[in-house]
Amino acid sequence: MDFSDSPEVARFRAGLRAWLAEHLAEYADGVSYDSAEGVEATHRWHRALAAAGYVAVSLDPEYGGRGLSDLYEAVINEELAAAAAPPPPPIGHIAHAVADFASADLKGRVLPGLLGCTESWCQGFSEPGAGSDLAGLSTSATATDDGFVVNGQKIWTSWAMWADRCLLLCRTEPDQPRHRGLSMLVVDMDTPGITRREITLANGSREFAEVFFDDVRVPAANLVGERGQGWKIAQHMLTYERGPADMGWTGRLGNVLAAAQEAVRSGHLPADDVLRRRLAAVAVDAQVLSWHVARSLVDRSSADPGSSGSVDKLLTTRVEQELYSVVDDLTGAAVVVGDQRPFNEYLWSRAQSIYGGTQQIQRQIVAQRLLGLPRG
Amino acid sequence: MDFSDSPEVARFRAGLRAWLAEHLAEYADGVSYDSAEGVEATHRWHRALAAAGYVAVSLDPEYGGRGLSDLYEAVINEELAAAAAPPPPPIGHIAHAVADFASADLKGRVLPGLLGCTESWCQGFSEPGAGSDLAGLSTSATATDDGFVVNGQKIWTSWAMWADRCLLLCRTEPDQPRHRGLSMLVVDMDTPGITRREITLANGSREFAEVFFDDVRVPAANLVGERGQGWKIAQHMLTYERGPADMGWTGRLGNVLAAAQEAVRSGHLPADDVLRRRLAAVAVDAQVLSWHVARSLVDRSSADPGSSGSVDKLLTTRVEQELYSVVDDLTGAAVVVGDQRPFNEYLWSRAQSIYGGTQQIQRQIVAQRLLGLPRG
Amino acid sequence: MQIGLDAEQRAFAQSSGALAADLAAGWDRGRGPHDVASPEPSEKDWARIVDAGWTALRLREENGGLGAGTVDVAVLVEQLGRHSVAAPVLGTLVAAEQLQALGAPVATLEAVAAGELRVAPLLDARLLGFAPSADDALAWDSAGATLAYAPDGSAHALGEPLPATDVTRSVRRPAGRVGDASLELRPPTDDDRDRLHAFTLTLLVADLLGTMAAALDAAVEHARSRTQFGKPIGSFQAVQQIAAEDLVSVEATRSALYFSAWAVDALPATEALRAARTAKAFASRAGVAVCQDVVQLFGGIGMTWESPVHVWLRRAQTDRTSFGDEHAHQAVLADLDLTER
Amino acid sequence: MQIGLDAEQRAFAQSSGALAADLAAGWDRGRGPHDVASPEPSEKDWARIVDAGWTALRLREENGGLGAGTVDVAVLVEQLGRHSVAAPVLGTLVAAEQLQALGAPVATLEAVAAGELRVAPLLDARLLGFAPSADDALAWDSAGATLAYAPDGSAHALGEPLPATDVTRSVRRPAGRVGDASLELRPPTDDDRDRLHAFTLTLLVADLLGTMAAALDAAVEHARSRTQFGKPIGSFQAVQQIAAEDLVSVEATRSALYFSAWAVDALPATEALRAARTAKAFASRAGVAVCQDVVQLFGGIGMTWESPVHVWLRRAQTDRTSFGDEHAHQAVLADLDLTER
């Protein structure tokens, strides 16, 4: 049992810290998805990180990664959070899907742009009629002589407004049952027939969009893996998306917690004994979450990563929702009148039990796959 | 809107208080179900209450009641709780079933003993294989020329060890689907073929028993209502059992709360601000519960009583479990080492979300019957 | 004992619900936080509000009001919450009640009742209660209000709306004394002060009840129609378990409101205030919890600006905080109940 | 970074689990609270415990022990919890660690390691920590123990078991000094005291983990086999939702145990104690919550004396309270984290 960094990890961490100390100020300013300038700043930041070798480090070197374990991805997330830097580009799961399933040709065409962050990607999975029930999606890709014609609608597509390419899960085999009929395509977002519509969230966030496909032609060479392999690839990706390494939340929650603790310590937010105790209680949970995430990362190869990702997500959601609830109560009236950032963060925390598979679905996955309870 | 007693109710309440002031000391001592003497004391207490006219007051006068509304049953429970008296005999639901469904002959034979508390009753519903799923019960009553022959097993039968009669739900029509095949019988507990086995609960309580029926002959005249009407009668009874009037819990929870408050006030149980606040929070919930129960009683005729009984039970369970959790935390180490009453009461509070239909089933009833959500 | 609304109250609930729905339908939430319409009612809408008697509802008849009981006012406010009405009716009712308790002149109260003088209550900066003076005070639910009075009778003009969680009601700061509008007020008796406080808390409970009930109804409707895995999501037990507990919370809140509203006019002032604190503590927690569950029941779509779900959550959080959340009232109740006297 | 048990530790878990299961199988819960067997092990069982090296496990080699790391001890204690072992192994381990930290003579520690001297730790009356003296103290997990030492080195005989929640472990009062058994002890250094505290808290976390994991496993097994409405109850979503959150709690507790156990021997003492408090706070709440859920998942049958469910809940509640529940540790952590230094 050893929770401390190995010498290699310690070296990697030190290198990243040094890089951040030198370059963060230069790139981090204005990073957001709320304006054209913010998006440009975001892309600049991602390209700088990529150039420094801190993007998709767990990918094989032949694809542009560094062949490091998932642990290093976690270190990157941790250190960026600790430095209050913007997050890294959330492309690990896309990169793994392409690297593990796409043809050599396709990899050659898209991985450099993806990993170099010179091209921006989105992931077209959810649909208005297929959220939790992803296998029920209906966007069709009808095979033609030289490729596919895509029709349908995606929703909750993060960063679609500014994406150059989309990894699209769609139905190519309408005569096959649910999961079996799906395939994965790489779609250039400037292909004629694609329309995007921004979704504004309740907290003002403009990260998401709807994407409409109207007779969109996609070349056969842009198929990832085989026809009918879409579900398998999506599951592979969700593994990475739900896992703690790609989440990078723990460190950011830690920052929010530390800021609240400092505000109480300094008297900036006055807190009675009850609030102090609630803050201490959620600090306990957050600490245990970070230990748990460390253990999950190391365990990852040995467990069923998809399901233990669900455990981690459920635990993270618990901590996050309680943390923002305590922070808002600490902030008091200033939450409902004044700067709306705390309230918007609270709203966002409420969404954490919905996105990436609702809490109810995550629990069902845990109950059936890890506990072996029978399907209903 | 008026939450105060009407003049009639106020008069009734005053009369009961006067009676309790005079007679409680004489009867309440040693009432329990843990020994033969305790049971004898219990029966004496019940007979005294009955003789004074405080048992099953909501029954029609022709059956031995006083034709009063359910409200008066609640007043009795409230006042007994307020006086720290033992509960009244829990026979309201049985009395209503017999009065509303049995033949004139059967009523004449059994109601005087039931209402006068000269005979002790139990209710044979649950079975090892049929708890939440009551309609799946399998105790059979095979029709003969002059009655029925009963075979099977009941469990969780309260007071069965000392009961003179049992209101038995059993299957008389094996060829009918689930609910349709059930009937209700009055069974004399000294009939040959009946064996009782005491169940000791985790908290030491000996209220429950298993009852085994081995070729037990029951005369046809002991059928309540028609053959196949058992489910209907049981539902009618559960209405009364789950409703707040027959529960009488609110007042007793109020006593537990008041005792805890007094212990904190006097410094007998030292409490930091966090514990004081938790106690105040559960006091809020308990107060709202008592208002809610008052409203439910008055509403009862207008609503679907079975389902609103489920709302009340869910609310009661919430309050009760939190109350005992706070009381135990107040009591601290003395819960785990020392007098075991607080721990046993805590254990009992955990059972409240199981008995009389689990919390999960109650919620399903509320969701489907009151909110109109579709069956799964 | 007669617990529940009588026929007249039910009719009033229906008529005020109809107007509230109509007012709400005319308000534009826009496409995002920077596009939302002001909660200040148009002249026409304000006239309809005044014509319906809402501004006069509670003031005594000698002050130009209709002299309604607290239960009737609660009936109205529940409908305001149910339809998330973007108009300062609640603020007006509370300000009018305060002015009356402070002995404001008949002419002033008549002008408030007639909708000619548009006032808002001043709360302290932490929104825990009425402000002792205009310093650092906040004019609560004050869209369209022209004046706010401090307890010393000074009248204050109001500044621009502050950034706020609730998109249906505004909070503004006093922005300068209006000398010629000042009034002679007197400190309230203890009883008047407690009863005013109880009245105000009760109205917030009513607004919470309307809000949480509307949210739950919509979530249930959504769960009936939205299908996943080939079935309406409302048929899944996990969804039913949440919705059922929410109904328990809604019904318990309704019971608390009924008692609290009855108590304002029927019980001694300290008992009424105690009941109102209890109800406010319960409803603050339950209201937000239900609205949070409704976010969950709606899924992703409920997190969009277009969906009304966040409007309910915003309103519930604001009601919860205003005049003290559950923690504030539990702290007072702990002192009352657990301190040796 | 290597988080988790190595092959040797897994083998030790298996062998100690097998013995724990066997010991547990020989203990008779009886038919009710008045019929339960004592948790004092028979001579034969005690000999098996000693032979397995459990009493010597943690003592340093120079004191006749095996010098095991805290992780190894936690591996054993998890198995004690998992099988609700009715024998004072945990009490012995804690008392031995305390005696060693207080500089007890080698001969005494050797006798403890060899199982010849059976000792129990003295806790204060509120069970919050080690007792400063024998006054009002409680000898914890002391079935069969003949002596308990106060920090001043005085030795105390022990009285009859007190009424207690836990049916698998006894608490007794000191019942008179045993003059000729007294020892020369010295006050521990701050570091030794903190590390002893961290070690003790960690073992309670391990016992909680074993208890909650056993309870959840049994509930899952029950849910697979028990049918209602023609289906195993484990196929109902309402049941699955509960069980899944319980697994989250179990796995998080395991992560907390791993860190805390590693920290006792690897980090500075104050950091180790902080980690142990955090783990104990988490496990105390999670352990009882899971056992309560298991009561619910078992339904009525779980409330009977015959069912093991209450044994788990009793043990979890006792572990939770002993050496401070979540509230006690959160209060300390709040002072550490939230007080201006």
Q: What is the mean pLDDT of residues A245-263?
A: 83
Chain D residues within an 8 Å CB radius of C236: 237
Indicate which residue of A241, A262, A322, A345 is catalytic.
A241
- Whether residue C2 is contained in a domain is answered as no
Ranked by mean pLDDT, which of A20-29, B198-207, D255-264 comes out on top?
A: D255-264
Provide the residue range defining the domain that includes D79.
7-181
Question: Which is it for the CA torsion D289, D291, D292, D294, positive or negative?
Answer: positive
- Whether residue C1 is contained in a domain is answered as no
Q: Looking at CA atoms only, how far is residue C302 from chain B in angstroms? A: 19
Whether the pLDDT of residue A131 is over 80: the answer is: no
3-state secondary structure at position C67:
coil
- Give B290's contacts (C-beta < 8 A, 6+ positions apart): B250, B254
Q: Looking at CA atoms only, how far is residue B156 from chain D in angstroms? A: 8
Q: What is the CATH number of the domain that holds C116?
A: 1.10.540.10
Asked if D68 and D57 touch (Cβ cutoff 8 Å), the reply is yes
Q: Is A11 at the interface with chain B, CB within 8 A?
A: no
Q: Looking at CA atoms only, how far is residue D74 from chain C in angstroms? A: 36
Task: Give the model's pLDDT for residue B90.
Answer: 85
Q: What percent of chain A has pLDDT over 90?
A: 65
Residue with tokens 């026979």: B91
- Whether residue D335 is contained in a domain is answered as yes
Scan residues 5-34 of A and list those with Cβ closer than 8 Å to D: 5-6, 9
Chain B residues within an 8 Å CB radius of C338: 261, 264-265, 271, 276, 279-280
What whole-number distance in Å separates Cα of residue A25 and Cα of residue D151? 57
Tokens in use for B272?
Answer: 């930091």
Q: What is the mean pLDDT of residues D206-232?
A: 95
Say if residue C60 is in the same domain as residue C122.
yes
- The DSSP-derived string for D129-181 is SB-SSSTT-EEET-TT--EEE-TTS-EEEEEEEPPBS-SSS-EEEEEEE-GGG
Say if residue D177 is in the same domain as residue D195.
no
The number of C-beta contacts closer than 8 angstroms across A and B is 9
Under the banding of pLDDT at 50, 70 and 90, the label for residue B48 is very high
Task: Give the model's pLDDT for residue A81.
Answer: 87
Under the banding of pLDDT at 50, 70 and 90, the label for residue A105 is very high
Q: What is the CATH number of the domain that holds D214?
A: 1.20.140.10
Residue with tokens 């901590």: A319
Whether the pLDDT of residue A45 is over 60: the answer is: yes
Q: Looking at CA atoms only, how far is residue A257 from chain C in angstroms? A: 21
Q: Is B301 at the interface with chain C, CB within 8 A?
A: no
pLDDT, chain A, mean: 89
Q: What is the mean pLDDT of residues B139-150?
A: 93
Asked if A299 and A313 touch (Cβ cutoff 8 Å), the reply is no
What whole-number distance in Å separates Cα of residue D112 and Cα of residue D95? 9
Say if residue D154 is in the same domain as residue D210.
no
Mark yes or no for CB contact D282/A283 under 8 Å: no
Task: Give the model's pLDDT for residue A238.
Answer: 74
- Whether residue D46 is contained in a domain is answered as yes
Q: Which chains neighbour D (Cβ–Cβ under 8 Å, 3 or more pairs)?
A: A, B, C
Scan residues 270-289 of A and list those with Cβ closer than 8 Å to B: 272-274, 277
DSSP, res C164: B
Residue with tokens 């005020």: C16
Scan residues 324-353 of B and list those with Cβ closer than 8 Å to D: 328-329, 332-333, 335-340, 343, 347, 350-351, 353
Task: Give the model's pLDDT for residue A139.
Answer: 94
Mutate to test the interface with B, among C9, C202, C259 (most CBs of B within 10 A): C259
Chain C residues within an 8 Å CB radius of B266: 340
Cα torsion at A139, A144, A147, A148 (round to 10°)? -10
Q: What is the mean pLDDT of residues A278-293?
A: 96
The structural domain count of chain D equals 2
Say if residue C177 is in the same domain as residue C224.
no
- The DSSP-derived string for B71-131 is HHHHHHHHHHHHTTPPPPPS-HHHHHHHHHHS-HHHHHHHHHHHHHTSS-EEEE--BTTBS
Chain D residues within an 8 Å CB radius of C245: none
Say if residue D246 is in the same domain as residue D324.
yes
Say if residue C210 is in the same domain as residue C291.
yes
Mark yes or no for CB contact C252/B289 under 8 Å: yes
Asked if B225 and B184 touch (Cβ cutoff 8 Å), the reply is yes
Rounded (10°) angle between helices A273-299 and A249-265: 160
3-state secondary structure at position C55:
coil
Give the domain-ending residue among D161, D181, D201: D181
Distance from the Cα of residue B78 to its chain's centroid: 15
Work out the angle at residue D242's Cα, subtended by the Cα atoms of residues A358 and D255, and round it to the nearest 5 degrees: 85
Mark yes or no for CB contact D238/C236 under 8 Å: no
Burial degree of D191 (CB within 10 A; 0-12, 13-18, 19+): middle
Q: Looking at CA atoms only, how far is residue A326 from chain D in angstroms? A: 14
Q: Please name the helix (run of DSSP H) or strand (run of DSSP E) that holds residue D305, with its range, or none.
A: none
What whole-number distance in Å separates Cα of residue B249 and Cα of residue A29? 61
Mark yes or no for CB contact A4/D266 under 8 Å: yes
- Whether residue C320 is contained in a domain is answered as yes
Asked if A346 and A330 touch (Cβ cutoff 8 Å), the reply is no
Give the domain-ending residue among D147, D163, D181: D181
Rounded (10°) angle between helices B273-299 and A273-299: 90
Closest by alpha carbon to A137, among A220, A217, A211, A198?
Answer: A211
Mark yes or no for CB contact A336/C322 under 8 Å: yes
Under the banding of pLDDT at 50, 70 and 90, the label for residue A244 is low
Q: What is the mean pLDDT of residues B267-291?
A: 96
Asked if C303 and B41 touch (Cβ cutoff 8 Å), the reply is no
What whole-number distance in Å separates Cα of residue B278 and Cα of residue B271? 10
DSSP, res C280: H
What whole-number distance in Å separates Cα of residue B269 and Cα of residue A316? 36
Chain C residues within an 8 Å CB radius of A126: 300
Whether the pLDDT of residue A242 is over 70: the answer is: no
Q: b vs e for A229-265, b when ≥16 Cβ sit within 10 Å of the residue's Cβ?
A: bbbbbbebbbbbbbbbbbbbbbbbbbebbeebbebbe
Work out the angle at residue A366's Cα, subtended by the Cα atoms of residues A363 and A367, and round it to the nearest 5 degrees: 85
Under the banding of pLDDT at 50, 70 and 90, the label for residue B245 is very low
Asked if B198 and B211 touch (Cβ cutoff 8 Å), the reply is no
Under the banding of pLDDT at 50, 70 and 90, the label for residue A235 is confident
pLDDT per position as a tens digit, C137-194: 999 999 999 999 999 999 999 999 999 999 999 999 999 999 899 999 999 999 999 9
Work out the angle at residue A358's Cα, subtended by the Cα atoms of residues A357 and A361, and round it to the nearest 5 degrees: 80
Task: Give the model's pLDDT for residue D261.
Answer: 98
3-state secondary structure at position C307:
coil
Tokens in use for A74?
Answer: 């976690």
Give the number of other Cβ atoms within 10 Å of residue B197's Cβ: 13
Q: Looking at CA atoms only, how far is residue D165 from chain A in angstroms? A: 26
Indicate which residue of B241, B262, B320, B345 is catalytic.
B241
- Give A21's contacts (C-beta < 8 A, 6+ positions apart): none
Mark yes or no for CB contact C229/A132 under 8 Å: yes
Say if residue C174 is in the same domain as residue C203.
no
pLDDT per position as a tens digit, D262-285: 999 999 999 999 999 999 999 999
pLDDT per position as a tens digit, B82-129: 898 998 888 888 998 999 999 999 999 999 999 999 999 999 999 988
Q: Is C326 at the interface with chain A, CB within 8 A?
A: no
Tokens in use for A119?
Answer: 């091209």
CA nearest to D235 within chain C? C237
What whole-number distance in Å separates Cα of residue D166 and Cα of residue D163? 9
Say if residue D18 is in the same domain as residue D158.
yes
Mark yes or no for CB contact B202/D305 under 8 Å: yes
What whole-number distance in Å separates Cα of residue B236 and Cα of residue B229? 11
DSSP, res A173: -
- Whether residue D2 is contained in a domain is answered as no
Q: Is B375 at the interface with chain A, CB within 8 A?
A: no
Task: Give the model's pLDDT for residue B92.
Answer: 85
Residue with tokens 């109650």: B362
The number of C-beta contacts closer than 8 angstroms across A and D is 160
Give the number of other Cβ atoms within 10 Å of residue B344's Cβ: 17
- Whether residue D1 is contained in a domain is answered as no
- Whether residue C236 is contained in a domain is answered as yes
Question: Which is it for the CA torsion D279, D284, D290, D294, positive or negative?
Answer: positive
Chain D residues within an 8 Å CB radius of B202: 303-305, 307, 309-310, 313
Say if residue C196 is in the same domain as residue C83.
no
pLDDT, chain B, mean: 89
Tokens in use for C56?
Answer: 């006069």
pLDDT, chain D, mean: 96
Rounded (to 5) percent helix, strand, coil in chain D = 60, 10, 35
CA distances from C31 to A38, A201, B255, B314, C304 (A): 20, 9, 54, 40, 10
CA nearest to B132 within chain D? D228
- Give B153's contacts (C-beta < 8 A, 6+ positions apart): B127, B128, B139, B210, B211, B212, B213
Chain A residues within an 8 Å CB radius of B277: 274
Lowest mean per-residue pLDDT among A276-280, A295-299, D106-110: A295-299
Lowest mean per-residue pLDDT among B14-23, B134-143, B161-170: B134-143
Q: What is the mean pLDDT of residues A248-255?
A: 83
Q: What is the mean pLDDT of residues D192-217?
A: 98
pLDDT per position as a tens digit, C101-144: 999 999 999 999 999 999 999 999 999 999 999 999 999 999 99
Return phi, psi of residue D187, to 5°. Answer: -60, 140
Under the banding of pLDDT at 50, 70 and 90, the label for residue A300 is low
Burial degree of D110 (CB within 10 A; 0-12, 13-18, 19+): middle
Chain A residues within an 8 Å CB radius of B376: 376
Asked if B208 and B60 touch (Cβ cutoff 8 Å), the reply is no
Q: Is D141 at the interface with chain A, CB within 8 A?
A: no
pTM: 0.94
Mark yes or no for CB contact B272/D331 under 8 Å: yes
Pairing of strands A165-171, A182-188: antiparallel
Give the domain-ending residue among D124, D158, D181: D181
pLDDT per position as a tens digit, A184-233: 999 999 999 999 999 999 988 888 999 999 999 999 999 999 999 999 99
Q: Please name the helix (run of DSSP H) or strand (run of DSSP E) that holds residue B217, with its range, or none.
A: strand B209-219
Rounded (10°) angle between helices B273-299 and B305-331: 160
Q: Looking at CA atoms only, how far is residue C130 from chain D in angstroms? A: 31
Whether the pLDDT of residue D315 is over 90: the answer is: yes
Catalytic (active site) residue A241: yes
Task: Give the model's pLDDT for residue A245.
Answer: 47
Task: Give the model's pLDDT for residue B305.
Answer: 52
C304 vs A199, A337, A363: nearest CB: A199
Say if residue C158 is in the same domain as residue C70.
yes
Say if residue D150 is in the same domain as residue D199.
no
Distance from the Cα of residue B175 to its chain's centroid: 32
Cα torsion at D217, B328, B347, D168 (round to 10°)? 60
Task: Give the model's pLDDT for residue B307.
Answer: 60
Burial degree of D181 (CB within 10 A; 0-12, 13-18, 19+): middle
Say if residue D247 is in the same domain as residue D158.
no
